[in-house]
Structures are given as C-alpha cells and as structure tokens.
Amino acid sequence: MEEIEIENNIFFTRYGAAYFEDISTIAVSDIHLGYEDVLAKNGIFLPRVQSRIIYETIDKLIERYAPEKVLINGDLKHEFSRNTPQEWKDAFDLLRRIGERAKPIVVKGNHDNYIANIASKLGIKVVDSYEEGKYTFQHGHRDFKWKGIAVIGNEHPAVGLRDSVESVVKLPCFLYFKKKGLIVLPALSIYAGGSDLLKNEISSPTLKKMRLKEGRVYGLWEAYGIIDLGEIRNLQ
C-alpha cells in the first residue's frame, strides 16, 4: 500500500514521510546525512549512497503530493560537533533541491549543532519547533507541551516481528497515539536500523509519557509498502 490516511488530511506513506494535506506539508525526520563520513573517521568505510537515495525519495514525495512545504523534523545531519565536509555538501544540496520546488523548513534535532551555518547559506532559518494549524512539530529529544497534534522523530521506531521459530523481521514504523494526539515519525536514514519498540527502552522524553501499548503501529515493508499492524499491545 502506498499510503494510509490515519485521520482526515493526515497520510502515512511507504516512503517514511507523513503528508499533512490541510497545511500542504510533507514531514520527514532523522535523515542523518554525513553518516558515512563519521564512520570513515573511525576506519569503517561504507559506500556513499545515502544522499542519492534520500534525494530520490524526497523527489518522489514532491512529485506525488506537490506540497507547499517540506519539513525536516530534526537530525538532518549526523555528526554532533562541527559540520563535516560531507554534511556541508549533502545537506546544502538537499535543501537547495527542496527549495526549487517547495519551501524547506528545518526543525533542529539533537544532532543538528551548526546546521544553521549550512541552512543560512540558502536563507533558511532553523527553528526549535514549528507550529501551523493544529500541528506542532518538534524533534522529540526534549519535553514540550502541545495542543492538537504533535509530530516528533528522534526515537527511530521499529518493530521486530517474530514467527514460531523466533525468526525476526525488523520494520521501521510510524507510531500514532490517537487519544494523546502524538505522531512519531520513522527515521529516513538508510543506516538507522531502528529501535525495537517491543524490546528496547524508550529514549524520547515525550514518548516516555505515553502508554506505549496504546500506540498504533504502521510498519514499512519494502515488498508491501505501509502496513497497519494494530496496537503495540497486540504485537507483544
């Protein structure tokens, strides 16, 4: 399935992005550009393919939904300290590409120290949170309050599906708490394996306040697209 409409005007897509039709905005999170550069400094060399895949994904989303805005909800870059050469190039190129077809919005994540130096070259202001209509977008690494619906990232949510012989398929996922009005976006990075909600401790202070078992899981499976897996309580 290409997309699922979880509420009026709110769509979860197979590409790991949410589309908010009423404010004409695509939201993605946790891209972590520059990941390969950081690993290379530690003697681990990966092919530098992530930026190309991210560019192609964003292009597909813009072509499909024609949004007025593309919002990056934190952790555009990976290195905590100063921007690496790869981060400069990849982040600049991504924001420039988005800016040719939509308005880029950058919400600062905990990895995004110095990202403003890159964004400012394109006249883009980096913000701690973004509010429009009934939505509040914040990365999720800090506690905050909201009215309406909050959208966070940070957690890199995933679920490990186990069969009778304990084989596991781990799927990145969206997480939705309808009663609390909270959406957790999956990581867009191809290197973010995801934190298994069924096994690992929660790190986001906002997510820690939720009754996790009430969260509804929408898994991303390359072969099938996006799948409604039901509430976490039924997966445990």
Total structural domains in the chain? Answer: 1
Confidence of residue 229 (pLDDT cuts 50, 70, 90): very high
Long-range contacts formed by 197-203: CB under 8 A, 24+ apart: 197/157, 197/158, 197/159, 197/173, 197/232, 198/159, 198/160, 198/232, 198/235, 198/236, 199/160, 202/155, 203/154, 203/155
Residue 127 has pLDDT above 70, yes or no: yes
pTM tops 0.85, yes or no: yes
Q: Which domain, by its residues, includes 198?
A: 3-234
Confidence of residue 166 (pLDDT cuts 50, 70, 90): low
CATH number for the domain spanning 91: value is 3.60.21
Across the range 124-139, mean pLDDT stands at: 97
CA 162 and chain centroid, separation: 25
